Amino acid sequence: MIVAGNWKMFKGPHEARAFAAAVRNLPSRAPGVEVVVCTPAVSITAAVQGLGADSGVRVYGQNVHWELEGAYTGEISAPMLLEAGATGTLVGHSERRQLFGETDETVRLRAESALEQGLRVIACVGETEAEREAGRTEAVLEGQVAVLPRHERLVIAYEPVWAIGTGKTATAETAQEAHAFVKSLHPTAVLYGGSVKPDNAGTLLAQPDVDGALVGGASLEVTSFEAICLAGAQAVAA
Ligand code: PGA
């Protein structure tokens, strides 16, 4: 069970350090849950410092370039993430796909490089509302999942785009159905993302093929992030 907070473009180093210090003991209170925070790149080192030596909370980046270095203004490589103290990264988040021209091909390149360099990867997939209404959900997921490498350090996050930041969570049944489909294509852990909150996390995480959560908005406050991690621990224990 993985509960990953995706901070998006929130929390600079100062806030990141304080948040990390506040959740450093969370893993011991949420047995069976791998707790992850995906911070802005400039806040990785501060988060790692705030967590201290033996916290168990993992710090990830939110994106990674496939080259190790070079003339790629604004990009960050896997060795740089590692040097800053991250142990993994997101790739292919729908905001990258929709707003920054990310394609299945660049997601593949990013995932492969990150894995090769020793990072863990959460690769995001998910259909838009128009694609779901047109009955294209499975075809879209198939295309997005097909390019992802099979690797023990890669997990997938199923994030229906219509559920991200909208408060419109997928029902447990819809999530379960999509997760089972994704797993039939690529056998790995599949996290659910899209308006996960403390009050719906328990039901979602209780689904047999929901192996964790990728949490945006509700991961920004210590209390709501903790509540979701504790719901994860309950689902593990059940
Ligand atoms: P949300 O974001 O929880 O705010 O919907 C999820 C995500 O984008 O990863």
CATH code (residue 94): 3.20.20.70
Pocket test for ligand 1, best of 89, 190, 196 (most atoms within 8 A of CB): 196
- Quote the pLDDT of residue 166: 86
Nearest atom in ligand 1 to 217's CA = 4
136 CA distance to ligand 1 centroid (A)? 22
Q: Which two tokens stand for residue 133?
A: 């209404």
CA distance 170 to 162: 9
In which residue ranges of the chain is pLDDT below 50? none
Tokens 């893993």 map to which residue?
A: 27
159 annotated active-site: yes
**Backbone phi and psi for residue 76, each to the nearest 5 degrees, phi listed first:** -135, 135
What is the pTM (predicted TM-score) of this model? 0.97
- Quote the pLDDT of residue 170: 83
- Quote the pLDDT of residue 168: 84
- Quote the pLDDT of residue 165: 84
List the end-to-end C-alpha distance of the chain, in Å, as a whole number: 12
Number of domains into which the chain is organized: 1
Residue 120, burial from CB neighbour count under 10 angstroms (0-12, 13-18, 19+): buried
- Quote the pLDDT of residue 232: 98
Range of the domain at 220: 2-237
- Quote the pLDDT of residue 169: 85
- Quote the pLDDT of residue 8: 98
Buried b (16+ CB within 10 A) or exposed e, 165-176: eeeebbebeebb
| Contact between 112 and 148 (Cβ < 8 Å) | no
Residue 151, burial from CB neighbour count under 10 angstroms (0-12, 13-18, 19+): middle
Pocket of ligand 1 from Cβ distances under 6 Å: 6, 159, 164-165, 193-196, 214-218
